[in-house]
């Protein structure tokens, strides 16, 4: 099975949790400058648990679909849990092998969410 | 096609699909005689050049210098001394920017570039800007993707302009710039002209004497020769007047603990052990091209260009970044496919054995100007075929369908 499995294309065409959250405590964006993939994320935390997450972005199917899949996965999880996620976890979520040349695309979403959670000043609710 | 048989890699398969190599602007494939020349050097002639007195070094030196003669003939330079071997177009542009920076340029001197330059023809100048305070000006690209000649004339009339450094052809847009006209304007205004022929060298005959440019660079690997070797052509009097840049073996006449005097041309600019096998391979590649002739190459590429443009003009979801007009155009096609990111297309094409490139092709400022993060590029050579274009187009249609 290749990376353009039905699941990936489905998330690319109809991304889940797409949009923004007005009044979210956490807002962050990241980009792969070399290819122009862009992602921005809004996160609402309640007692260190993600109570809502929404994203917007443009770019390749891998970067956008991976983010859509991730937002579904991290909903309701703790900050600590999310910060510990590694690439192999993402790879399992995607359900298809990611080649070396697409690693940067696949990992952008995870990086965006983790860096958002690491930002200073979002300790309190 | 007989000539295609000379290129062993083109016979290979990827995931059981015949390779379709559409990435010739990144690098070209190598004919058997170039591969053989490199192997033969390492198997039978390997030694250093211009140094030892021994029979092997003599053979190596002779072949190395024979390649210089082949290059001189290929671009019709007046003298062998005017051919400097470099590691590529990037190395050549850095070399010329640095010797001009050391030898003639001063603060507030203006260097003119086009908006479509490769990073290799922007960054060395930006570095000089930081180092000595030169200024850069960019010639605009018009809606039809060609240079604005009216603007060129206005810019080059500025007395502060000392250098025009410009590509012969664009590795993104596929256009050929009217460099003869540009060089003529430079002559009238006493401006040094530098031509980056990296993208054009495999497609069109270069004659430095009739162009009358001051400098010209290209890379060997884009003209069927090995990577890591290239050429800087410079007019002899200019090269003689300019200071050396890199220091090391071969570029000196005499060295003491206190000082040195530089060697004669061309060695003055060839410090260190060169890529000898690569240079010999380059010489062989140029002879191979000469034997085929640019008339044949042009003719084949014109057929491919017409065919490609006609095929994609029927697809309303493709936006070509470059002219549909075949005049002064190379078979280099960058485009976007509506609804699909170029990386996804390149990845999927790759699974079908079709080799393309997605990204900004080291020309990010132009992509920014056109508000495109990236494009897909298919760059063809005389050895490609219309059948390959048919397969390519069929796959693009399939991929587009997957995404809508
Ligand atoms: C127009 C142009 N200039 C310069 C270069 C740099 O060539 P190299 O990387 O071989 O030094 C390229 C290669 O893509 C090019 O297309």
For residues B54 and B312, give the distance between their C-alpha atoms in angstroms, rounded to a whole number: 59
Confirm or reject contact between A4 and chain B (CB < 8 A): yes
Q: Are B199 and B334 in contact (CB under 8 A)?
A: no
For residues B60 and B321, give the distance between their C-alpha atoms in angstroms, rounded to a whole number: 45
pLDDT digits (tens, 9 = 90+) for B343-374: 999 999 999 999 999 988 888 888 888 888 88
User: Residue A58's closest CA among B317, B348, B372, B370?
Assistant: B372
Exposure of B177 in the CB half-sphere (CA atoms within 13 A): 33
Cβ distance B373 to A59 less than 8 Å, yes or no, reads yes
Q: Classify domain A3-118 at the CATH topology level.
A: Sufe protein. Chain: A (3.90.1010)
For residues A119 and A25, give the distance between their C-alpha atoms in angstroms, rounded to a whole number: 11
Closest ligand 1 atom to B170 CA: 1
Residue B308: per-residue pLDDT: 98
Best A38, A60, A97 residue to mutate vs chain B (most B CBs within 10 Å): A60
Say yes or no to pLDDT of B228 above 50: yes
Instruction: Work out the mean pLDDT of chain B and round it to a whole number.
Output: 95
Residue A1: per-residue pLDDT: 44
Which region among B8-22, B25-39, B49-63, B215-229 has the lowest average model confidence (pLDDT)?
A: B49-63
From the list B348, B373, B374, the residue facing A4 with the nearest CB is B348
CA nearest ligand 1 atom 2, residue: B198
Confirm or reject contact between A104 and chain B (CB < 8 A): no
Which residue of chain B is at minimal alpha-carbon distance from A5? B402
From the list B341, B351, B360, the residue facing A60 with the nearest CB is B341
For residues B126 and B98, give the distance between their C-alpha atoms in angstroms, rounded to a whole number: 11
Residue A33: per-residue pLDDT: 81
ipTM: 0.83
Could you write out the three-class secondary structure of A24-45? CCEEEEEEECCCCEEEEEEEEE
Confirm or reject contact between A102 and chain B (CB < 8 A): yes
Best A3, A4, A103 residue to mutate vs chain B (most B CBs within 10 Å): A4
For residues A70 and A52, give the distance between their C-alpha atoms in angstroms, rounded to a whole number: 13
Say yes or no to pLDDT of B64 above 70: yes
Q: Is the peptide bond before B74 cis (omega within 30 degrees of 0)?
A: no
Q: Are A72 and A116 in contact (CB under 8 A)?
A: no
For residues B160 and A35, give the distance between their C-alpha atoms in angstroms, rounded to a whole number: 37
Residue A120: per-residue pLDDT: 60
For residues B313 and B318, give the distance between their C-alpha atoms in angstroms, rounded to a whole number: 8
CA torsion angle B262 B267 B270 B274 (round to 10): -140
Residue A36: per-residue pLDDT: 79
Q: How far is B154 from chain A (nearest CA, A)?
A: 34
Spot the catalytic one: B362, B372, B391, B399: B362
B250: left (phi over 0), alpha (psi -120 to 50) or beta: left
Tens-of-pLDDT digits for all 125 residues of chain A?
Answer: 466 788 899 999 999 999 999 989 999 999 988 777 899 999 999 999 999 999 999 999 999 999 999 999 999 999 999 999 999 999 999 988 888 888 999 999 999 999 999 986 554 44
Count chain A–chain B contacts defined by CB atoms under 8 A: 41
Closest ligand 1 atom to B167 CA: 1
Active site (annotated) includes residue B362? yes
Residue A124: per-residue pLDDT: 46
Using the Cα atoms of residue A21, residue A22, residue A23 and residue A25 in order, give the sign of their dihedral.
positive
Two tokens, residue B400: 């587009």
Cβ distance B374 to A35 less than 8 Å, yes or no, reads yes
């Amino acid at each position: 099975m290749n990376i353009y499995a039905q699941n990936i294309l489905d998330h690319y065409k109809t991304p889940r949790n797409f949009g923004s959250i007005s009044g979210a405590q956490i807002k962050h964006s990241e980009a792969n400058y070399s290819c122009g993939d862009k992602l921005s994320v809004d996160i609402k935390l309640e007692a260190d648990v993600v109570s809502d997450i929404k994203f917007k972005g443009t770019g390749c199917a891998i970067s956008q679909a991976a983010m859509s899949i991730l937002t579904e996965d991290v909903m309701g999880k703790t900050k600590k849990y999310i910060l510990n996620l590694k690439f192999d976890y993402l790879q399992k979520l995607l359900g298809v092998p990611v080649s070396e040349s697409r690693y940067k695309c696949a990992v952008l979403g995870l990086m965006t969410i983790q860096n958002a959670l690491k930002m200073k000043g979002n300790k309190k609710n | 096609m007989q000539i295609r048989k000379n290129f062993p890699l083109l016979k290979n398969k990827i995931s059981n699909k015949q390779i379709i190599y559409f990435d010739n602007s990144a690098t070209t494939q190598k004919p058997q005689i170039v591969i053989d020349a490199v192997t033969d050097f390492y198997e039978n002639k390997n030694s250093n050049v211009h140094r030892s007195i021994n029979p092997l070094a003599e053979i190596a030196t002779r072949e190395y210098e024979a390649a210089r003669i082949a290059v001189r003939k290929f671009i019709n330079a007046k003298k062998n001394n005017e051919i400097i071997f470099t590691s590529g177009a990037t190395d050549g542009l850095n070399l010329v920017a640095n010797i001009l920076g050391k030898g003639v340029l001063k603060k507030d001197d203006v260097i003119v570039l086009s908006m479509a330059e490769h990073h290799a023809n922007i960054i060395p100048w930006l570095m000089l800007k930081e180092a000595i305070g030169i200024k850069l000006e960019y010639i605009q690209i018009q809606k039809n993707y060609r240079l604005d000649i009216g603007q060129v004339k206005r810019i080059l009339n500025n007395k502060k302009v000392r250098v025009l450094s410009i590509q012969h052809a664009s590795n993104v847009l596929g256009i050929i710039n009217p460099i003869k006209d540009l060089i003529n304007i430079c002559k009238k205004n006493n401006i040094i002209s530098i031509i980056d022929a990296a993208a054009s060298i495999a497609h069109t005959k270069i004659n430095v004497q009739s162009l009358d440019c001051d400098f010209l660079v290209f890379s060997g690997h884009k003209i069927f020769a090995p990577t890591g070797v290239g050429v800087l052509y410079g007019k002899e009097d200019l090269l003689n007047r300019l200071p050396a840049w890199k220091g090391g073996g071969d570029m000196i006449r005499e060295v003491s603990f206190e000082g040195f005097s530089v060697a004669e041309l061309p060695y003055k600019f060839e410090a260190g052990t060169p890529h000898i096998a690569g240079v010999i391979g380059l010489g062989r590649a140029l002879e191979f091209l000469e034997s085929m002739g640019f008339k044949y190459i042009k003719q084949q590429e014109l057929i491919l260009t017409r065919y490609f443009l006609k095929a994609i003009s029927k697809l309303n979801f493709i936006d070509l970044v470059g002219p549909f007009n075949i005049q002064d155009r190379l078979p280099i096609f960058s485009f976007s496919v509506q609804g699909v990111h170029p990386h996804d297309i390149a990845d999927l094409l790759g699974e079908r054995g079709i080799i393309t490139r997605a990204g900004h092709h080291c020309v990010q400022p132009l992509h920014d100007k056109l508000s495109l993060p990236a494009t897909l590029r298919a760059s063809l050579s005389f050895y490609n075929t219309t059948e390959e274009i048919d397969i390519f187009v069929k796959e693009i249609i399939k991929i587009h369908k997957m995404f809508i």
